[in-house]
Amino acid sequence: MADQEYRIEHDSLGEMKVPADKYWAAQTQRSHENFEIGVGIETMPGEIIHAFGILKKAAAMANNELNSAKMTDRKLEVITEACDEVIAGKLNDNFPLVVWQTGSGTQSNMNTNEVIANRANAIAGEKLCHPNDDVNMSQSSNDTFPTAMHIAAVLAVEDKLIPAALDLIDEFKRLEKENEGIVKSGRTHLQDAVPISFSQEISGWRSSLEKDVELLKLTVEPLKALALGGTAVGTGLNAPKGFDTKVADKVSELTGKKFVTAENKFHALTSKDEIVVAHGAVKAMACDMMKIANDIRWLASGPRVGLGEIVIPANEPGSSIMPGKVNPTQCEQVTMVAVQVIGNDVAVGMGASQGNFELNVFMPVMAYNFLQSARLLAESIVSFRTKCVYGITANREKMHDNLHNSLMLVTALNPYIGYENAAKTSHLAFEENISLKEACVRLGFLTPEKFDEVFHPEEMI
């Protein structure tokens, strides 16, 4: 590009050429050039940038109330307007930095400071705001990045993942009601088991997700404690008294969620246990989604030589060589997303184990993995609900046939002929491919009339 398409910015290390059409400055440019790792693919998550916009606005508001001589009303006005544009995503192309940078997220904090300062100056029509002195006032990268990570995680879980799960729970409730009274064979160890109603089976899926939502709600609460106010090492150096509580109140006002200042800033800067626990709850939901998706695709297997007990929507052709084949693709995307979330949990846990002295320096990778997990799982659940679960129908005839062909119905005879005799009946029926009734009568355990009197599979649920 020609020289006129750049402008000269400077930082403590000297001058840098910065694209003229961008609001970032020297420190962002240095990071952009120094960390050419995953460029354009593994950039800092948009949720983090959104959260930075919130916390920078909250910090400016708090600073204005605590030190209006330095954070003047005019500075607050233009910084607020610039922050609102960051929050709304209008300046997203000004955040090019990758996850694979310094472990404190310093470059992304400075990227935000530079963009907000330069945009505020453009709004003001003068060079009014400085990235460090004004936008970063009373802050450090060491307390802003963990704060942004917590805010982003709370918003992702409460505003995306939990609502997606609740909608799927409602869909399962509808299916339960529609399928009341249908009795089918249960299965344990992938083997035939005693009967269960289809609505009971669905209730297991529904209840699992309800428990997951409860766990998410419990584990997201500790994330609402913010490190902001701890500054560099947790002592709060250069932050005015009361800044930490006031800025937490401002974040609460801006998000509509109750955030508080972390009780111990030394813990808040170096320990990431809250992120680990919350991601564990995300992983638990992913594990349940894996189980549910597997159940559904196995129950739908066939259509003729599988279980074939349910029918799922046919969304697209399933084979490039086998005409008419339809695959459980929505179930497969769920299971792949679950595997990704489970893998992400390892990265989050390993990153949290690396808090050395006064700072954890694995925060970007933890934020990246946590937010990817929450985002992927939420979108996966929405897709699964709208393109698969909504259209599940029971194959009543196949369920009836499988139920009455199951040898485990012999369990109903235990009270009348005893466990060992019931086992002999089952083995004979299997070995000679005859009915349980025929086997039981041939062995002399019950008369045909007595067998019919006590043998009622539909009542075994």
Q: Indicate which residues carry an active-site annotation.
A: 189, 319
Rounded to an integer, what distance in angstroms lies between the CA atom of residue 137 and that of residue 129? Answer: 11
Q: Give the C-alpha separation, 395 to 402, whole Å.
A: 11
Q: Is 270 exposed, middle or buried (CB count within 10 Å of its CB: 0-12, 13-18, 19+)?
A: buried
- Given a contact cutoff of 8 angstroms between Cβ atoms, the answer to whether 116 and 86 are in contact is yes
Q: Which residues pair with 6 in a beta bridge?
A: 19
DSSP state of 17: E
Instruction: Please identify which residue in the block is written with the tokens 């729970």.
Output: 169
284 close to 249: Cβ distance less than 8 angstroms:
no
CA distance 11 to 26: 6
The β-bridge partners of 158 are none
* The pair of three-digit structure tokens given for residue 451, joined into one six-digit string: 């067998």
Report the C-alpha gap between 66 and 247 in whole angstroms.
10
d(CA 240, CA 321): 70
